Amino acid sequence: MRAFRQILIGRGFSFCDEGENPPYPFPGPVATAESLLLCGVEASSTDHPQQGISCTLDDTPDTFWSSQGSASLDSHEYLLYKLRSPLCLIRHVQLTVYRARYQFGEPLYPPTHVSFQAGPSPWSLAPPSLKFPVAATDAVQSFPLPADLPVGRYLRVNLHGKRQQQLEDMQWYHAIQRVEALGHQLTAAEASQLRHWASCQLRPPPHPGAVPSYLVPGILQQGGSQQEDEGGPEELQAAAAAAVGQQGAIWGQPTVVWLDQEQPVGSPTSSMSFEG
């Protein structure tokens, strides 16, 4: 299929990876980083049922998530994931753009930029800060997350701008083969330290709903000899609820963070569907 590329270019069709510079060499994750993604929750759009968000979590090279087509290259998409623990410290996100080898010219469908949000529930995500440029390559790209990204249970990957049209319908698409979040699941003892820290604060953390990740190492170092015995799910649940701090005061309603479901008390029903 790639043999057709030069013919299509000669007829005016563009491929975003033609003459593309190599990706920016952001520092990669440390060897001790854990895989944090548990399941996909929602995608902003899906082209076909067999191309859902769950395809970004398997290791099969032929599966991928695809957005619906857009008439404009300025359209945006997002992917929302649930993490393995109520309190996850995310350090890196790795993204692999899908190359459609079954299409003429073997195009890639990357975003122009990517940004990240995290928080204790899908309704309480910190606003995105940095936008990272995404290269038009099917190699794994690693993005170090901003230091003020909060510890939380959910991760949203925002895909900004579309760079490739599909020859079949001349619409703009995103196609992502793999997403992986790497970092650290806080233990019950570490969560207990965060609970103690949150209870001592006179005002909310910088982002409503979660403890910023840049504060976590210092908090955990302070209480090394005072850690409580590691408990079970109840300890993590209590610590997660405390870590959301003053969210109730900010949003005007109390919030309880559960291990398998997070929803502000009295909040309107969301259109999102959740697993577990």
pLDDT number for residue 275: 34
Burial of 146 (0-12, 13-18, 19+ CB in 10 A): middle
What region does 161 belong to: left with phi over 0, alpha with psi -120 to 50, or beta?
left
36 with 156, same domain: the answer is yes
CA distance readout (Å), 109 to 6, 52, 76, 94, 137: 18, 15, 13, 16, 9
Last residue of a domain, one of 158, 185, 212: 185
pLDDT number for residue 239: 53
18 with 119, same domain: the answer is yes
181 with 192, same domain: the answer is no
Q: Cβ distance 239 to 232 under 8 Å?
A: no
Domain span at 200: 188-258
Burial of 45 (0-12, 13-18, 19+ CB in 10 A): middle
pLDDT number for residue 236: 55
What element of type H or E holds 234? helix 233-243
At 89 the three-state DSSP class reads strand
pLDDT number for residue 99: 95
51 with 101, same domain: the answer is yes
pLDDT number for residue 202: 57
Q: Please report whether residue 267 resides in a domain.
A: no
Q: Please report whether residue 242 resides in a domain.
A: yes
70 with 137, same domain: the answer is yes
Q: Please report whether residue 86 resides in a domain.
A: yes
Q: What does the alpha-carbon distance between residue 251 and residue 117 come to, in Å, rounded to a whole number?
A: 18
78 with 169, same domain: the answer is yes
pLDDT number for residue 200: 72
Predicted confidence pLDDT, tens digits, the chain (276 residues): 677 888 898 888 999 999 888 777 777 777 778 999 999 999 999 999 999 999 999 988 899 999 999 999 999 999 999 999 888 989 999 999 999 999 999 999 999 999 999 988 998 898 886 899 999 999 999 999 877 787 889 999 999 999 999 999 999 999 999 999 999 898 878 877 776 776 676 555 554 445 666 677 777 777 654 444 445 555 555 555 544 443 332 222 322 222 233 433 333 333 333 333
Last residue of a domain, one of 156, 185, 214: 185
pLDDT number for residue 21: 80
Q: What does the alpha-carbon distance between residue 62 and residue 223 come to, in Å, rounded to a whole number?
A: 47
106 with 57, same domain: the answer is yes
125 with 15, same domain: the answer is yes
170 with 232, same domain: the answer is no
229 with 138, same domain: the answer is no
pLDDT number for residue 134: 94
- The number of distinct structural domains making up the chain is 2
CA distance readout (Å), 170 to 51, 70, 72, 73, 166: 19, 9, 10, 11, 5
Q: Please report whether residue 266 resides in a domain.
A: no
102 with 154, same domain: the answer is yes
Q: Please report whether residue 269 resides in a domain.
A: no
pLDDT number for residue 234: 55
Contacts with 197 (C-beta within 8 Å, 6 or more apart), sequence order? 211, 215, 219
Q: What does the alpha-carbon distance between residue 126 and residue 254 come to, in Å, rounded to a whole number?
A: 18
148 with 92, same domain: the answer is yes
Tell me, what DSSP letter sits at residue 237?
A: H
